[in-house]
């Protein structure tokens, strides 16, 4: 059973080492662990050669990619939703500087289910008859011993560290997220270490119509990080800061990513 520690952002960020599989929670532009990513980028020695795992990747992932921290990404989508493409992902992928491990909803969900079940792969009818296996030679096929049907055997997916931003945590280690959960519960289950950044610390997390409680075995580390998802949203506390996202895309379009990153890392 996991035991949790309450730590600072800097202490949590120091736990991510070069070459790790790093999973980031949230969905598209909602409840992303931006404050944690900022703490990673504030390190004197930023992590390198990370494999980034997201169901969907957004602003926070694009910052890590642009900063040169990510060598491989596994996701079904990397973008800024209505704000357009993720500019640094697009640039680095087109240059061949970023390995994009082809994934679909089926392959990611099957791989996570395999890890949660403690088996090496999860069989599925997905990808059969498509060209996707040509892009992923590591994905094998098996024969169903009962029906003789050919199935795809999606390998188990694990994370060294999962980071999720949530609404609140209590002194017992329970964490409350909003109902836009994405695959955060699965990311908790497949990781060796789970860091939860939270808007506030409370005496006791209470169930509500807007929230879902991840019970105390879920987190290994809890960080108090108010507005930790900004400029992405954290319903019901604050919406997407569209102006900031547009400043980011404008800076990247003008070839000024490094200037934006410097302001992002060093702002008060």
d(CA 53, CA 31): 16
The DSSP symbol for 125 reads S
Q: Of all residues in the chain, what percent carry a pLDDT higher than 70?
A: 99
Is the pLDDT at 133 greater than 60? The verdict is yes
Q: Which CATH class is domain 5-103+158-259?
A: alpha beta
What would the pLDDT profile of 94-129 be if each residue is shown by its tens digit?
Answer: 999 999 999 999 999 999 999 999 999 999 999 999
Is the pLDDT at 223 greater than 70? The verdict is yes
124: enclosing H helix or E strand: strand 121-124
d(CA 186, CA 163): 12
What would the pLDDT profile of 26-40 be if each residue is shown by its tens digit?
Answer: 999 999 999 999 999
Ramachandran quadrant class, 182 (left: phi over 0; alpha: psi -120 to 50; beta: rest) = left
Q: Which pLDDT score is estimated for 1?
A: 52
What would the pLDDT profile of 47-96 be if each residue is shown by its tens digit?
Answer: 999 999 999 999 999 999 999 999 999 999 999 999 999 999 999 999 99
Domain residue spans of the chain: 5-103+158-259, 121-155
Residue whose token pair is 């992923």:
136
- Residue 103: count other Cβ atoms within 10 Å of its Cβ: 23
CB contact at 8 A, 225 and 167: no
Q: Is 35 helix (H, G, I), strand (E, B) or coil?
A: helix
Tell me what the pLDDT averaged over the chain comes to.
Answer: 96
Confidence band, pLDDT 50/70/90 cuts, at residue 267: confident
- Look at the alpha carbons of 229, 162, 104, 98 in this order and tell me if their dihedral is positive or negative: positive
Q: What is the mean pLDDT of residues 205-221?
A: 90
Q: Is 218 exposed, middle or buried (0-12, 13-18, 19+ CB in 10 A)?
A: buried
């Amino acid at each position: 059973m996991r035991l949790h520690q309450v730590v600072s952002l800097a202490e949590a960020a120091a736990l991510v080492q070069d070459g790790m599989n790093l999973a980031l929670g949230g969905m598209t532009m909602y409840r992303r662990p931006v404050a944690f990513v900022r703490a990673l980028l504030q390190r004197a020695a930023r992590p390198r050669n990370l494999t980034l795992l997201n169901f969907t990747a957004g602003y926070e992932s694009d910052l890590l990619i642009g900063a040169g921290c990510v060598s491989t990404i596994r996701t079904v989508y990397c973008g800024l939703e209505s704000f357009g493409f993720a500019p640094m992902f697009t640039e680095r992928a087109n240059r061949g500087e970023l390995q994009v491990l082809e994934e679909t909803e089926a392959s990611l969900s099957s791989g996570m289910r395999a890890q949660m079940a403690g088996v090496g792969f999860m069989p599925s009818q997905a990808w059969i008859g498509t060209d996707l296996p040509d892009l992923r030679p590591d994905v094998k096929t098996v024969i169903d011993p009962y029906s003789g049907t050919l199935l795809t055997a999606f390998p188990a997916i694990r994370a060294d560290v999962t980071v999720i931003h949530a609404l609140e945590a209590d002194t017992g280690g329970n964490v409350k997220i909003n109902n836009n959960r994405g695959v955060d519960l699965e990311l908790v289950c497949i990781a060796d270490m789970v860091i939860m950044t939270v808007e506030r610390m409370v005496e006791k997390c209470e169930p509500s119509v807007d929230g879902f409680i991840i019970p105390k075995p879920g987190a290994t580390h809890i960080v108090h990080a108010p507005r930790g998802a900004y400029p992405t949203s954290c319903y019901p506390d604050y919406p997407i800061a569209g102006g900031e996202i547009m400043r980011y895309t404008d800076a990247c379009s003008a070839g000024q990513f490094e200037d934006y990153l410097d302001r992002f890392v060093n702002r008060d």
